Structure 1
Amino acid sequence: MPLNRLDQINLLKDILSNHTADCCGSVTECEQVERLVKSLMAQHNLDGNVIALLEEIYNYSQEGIQSSNLDSHITTYQPKLTQWVEEMNELY
């Protein structure tokens, strides 16, 4: 059963919140973030603010997938992770 938009956003928020709280994660989680963002961006009725937010999160996931030290990458993004989750809470 495919996830609807709200399910995708909630899953995305959960992963980013876990990265924020734990200061660690896995490449698999970054790949999941990438897939979620791609799916959300494929929907054509998003406004510019949402697209910009999703692009930032996508870049975060790409850098995480390629990072030689994922925990350090996540720690570097701590302020942004918190901001992104708050923005998604306001949007949805």
Structure 2
Amino acid sequence: MPLDHNHQLTVLRDILSEHQLDCCGTVSECEQIERLVKSLLANNEVSADVKHILPNIYAYGQGGKYSPDLNAHISAHQDQLADWVNGLS
């Protein structure tokens, strides 16, 4: 059963929160971020405020996926992660 957009937002928020708190993550989490953002951007029920920050989150996931040092990538985005988690709440 596919997740509705509220559940997708919860999963996305959880991944970003874990990155923020743990300062580490996995490539598969970055790929999941990309998939969630693509789905949310295509959904008309998602608010314009949320859609406004999703491209930056997508870029973060993509950058992390290709980063030679994922933990450094996550650490470099600590301020944005906090803002995004708050923006998705």
Q: TM tier, shorter chain?
A: over 0.9
TM-score by length of 2: 0.94
- Identical amino acids, percent of aligned pairs: 47
CA distance in 2, matches of 1:61, 1:27: 9
Identify the residue that residue 25 of structure 2 maps to in structure 1: 25
TM-score by length of 1: 0.91
Deviations 1:19-61 (A, max 9, x none): 0000000000000000000000111344543222000000000
The one-letter code sitting in structure 2 at the alignment partner of 1:42 is A
Tell me how many residue pairs correspond in the alignment: 89
The one-letter code sitting in structure 2 at the alignment partner of 1:6 is N
Identify the residue that residue 43 of structure 1 maps to in structure 2: 43
RMSD after superposition? 1.1
CA distance in 2, matches of 1:7, 1:42: 15
CA distance in 2, matches of 1:46, 1:25: 26
